[in-house]
């Protein structure tokens, strides 16, 4: 699609912030007003529109797509998103370790345990650690507590958390990424620990490296998006 606008601006309304193309407010891909929770988020979306050349690149709208997903999907059916996120907690990557005698286990303990322990302390839950691939059900009380925690989040935080969690295969990492002082690079290193371990062991392929780089970019973008969605509800 050819670029069809010249000017990009943001404006505050009674409900929030909006992005305007040639003075006209943008709608979501679902057709409703795209009202954003902060000026910072509106400016991020506006920057994506300003960065377009003569032709619009749909793949370059990371923040627009997350905002539209929050408004068109999450706001209308938050329960389904919460169900999906709780499902990640039931089989959280950080809970499944290698056999204790393996070198990978020591690395997992070093990198994963501080993140998992911090999440447990902050959220008031306990999750089982498992060595090997045999599934062990997590405590129902912990899953219920996490569900209540997620229900307190607004659609923009939930949209970001869903992307963070799915990329990391870990709700623990996703929740940690919402914290104000979170280390994005460190969290992504934890999320990709096993994949990087295997790549170091067996060699690296160009396509796999490019795929990991894209996923890293998506993870860090979701963290940035969450950081402009306002204070995280407790």
Provide the residue ranges of all domains of the chain, joining segments of one domain with +: 8-74, 77-229
Quick: pLDDT tens for 97-143: 999 999 999 999 999 999 999 999 999 999 999 997 788 899 999 99
Query: pLDDT confidence of 190, banded at 50, 70, 90?
Result: very high
What is the chain's Cα-based Rg?
20
Q: Pairing mode, if any, of strands 130-131 and 96-97?
A: parallel
Mean pLDDT of 66-82: 98
204 or 146, which is more confident:
146
3-state secondary structure at position 165: helix
Lowest mean pLDDT among 88-97, 182-191, 204-213, 219-228: 204-213
Distance (Å, rounded) from C-alpha 9 to C-alpha 21? 7
User: Is 86 a residue whose pLDDT tops 80?
Assistant: yes
Distance (Å, rounded) from C-alpha 90 to C-alpha 73? 23
Quick: pLDDT tens for 142-186: 999 999 999 999 999 999 999 999 999 999 999 999 999 999 999
Distance (Å, rounded) from C-alpha 139 to C-alpha 120? 12
> How confident is the model at residue 46, as a pLDDT?
98
Mean pLDDT of 2-24: 96
> How confident is the model at residue 140, as a pLDDT?
97
* Cβ atoms 154, 37 nearer than 8 A: yes
* Cβ atoms 223, 186 nearer than 8 A: no
Give how far the C-alpha of residue 143 lies from the chain's centroid of Cα atoms, to the nearest Å.
19
* Cβ atoms 21, 5 nearer than 8 A: yes
The fold of 77-229 is: ATP12-like fold (1.10.3580)
Query: pLDDT confidence of 204, banded at 50, 70, 90?
Result: confident
* Cβ atoms 49, 18 nearer than 8 A: no
Closest listed residue to residue 109, CA positions, set 124, 96, 90: 96
> How confident is the model at residue 199, as a pLDDT?
86
Sheet of 8-12: strand order equals 8-12, 17-21, 24-25
CATH class for domain 8-74? alpha beta
140 or 203, which is more confident:
140
> How confident is the model at residue 232, as a pLDDT?
81
> How confident is the model at residue 208, as a pLDDT?
84
């Amino acid at each position: 699609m050819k670029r069809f606008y010249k000017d990009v601006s943001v404006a505050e309304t009674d409900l929030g912030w909006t992005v305007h193309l040639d003075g006209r407010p943008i709608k979501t891909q679902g057709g409703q007003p795209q009202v954003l929770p902060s000026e910072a988020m509106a400016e991020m979306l506006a920057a994506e529109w300003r960065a377009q050349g003569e032709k619009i690149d749909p793949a370059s709208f990371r923040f627009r797509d997350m905002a539209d997903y929050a408004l068109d999907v999450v706001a209308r059916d938050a329960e389904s998103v919460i169900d999906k996120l709780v499902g990640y907690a039931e089989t959280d990557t950080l809970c499944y370790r290698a056999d204790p005698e393996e070198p990978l286990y020591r690395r997992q303990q070093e990198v994963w345990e501080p993140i998992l322990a911090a999440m447990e302390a902050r959220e008031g839950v306990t999750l089982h650690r498992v060595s090997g691939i045999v599934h062990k059900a997590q405590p129902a009380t912990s899953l219920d507590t996490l569900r209540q925690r997620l229900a307190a989040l607004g659609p923009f935080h939930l949209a970001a958390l869903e992307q963070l969690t799915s990329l990391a295969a870990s709700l623990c990492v996703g929740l940690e990424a919402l914290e104000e002082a979170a280390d994005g690079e460190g969290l992504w290193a934890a999320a990709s620990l096993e994949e990087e371990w295997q790549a170091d062991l067996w060699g690296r392929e160009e396509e796999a490296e490019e795929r990991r780089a894209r996923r890293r970019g998506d993870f860090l973008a979701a963290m940035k998006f969450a950081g402009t969605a306002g204070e995280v509800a407790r």
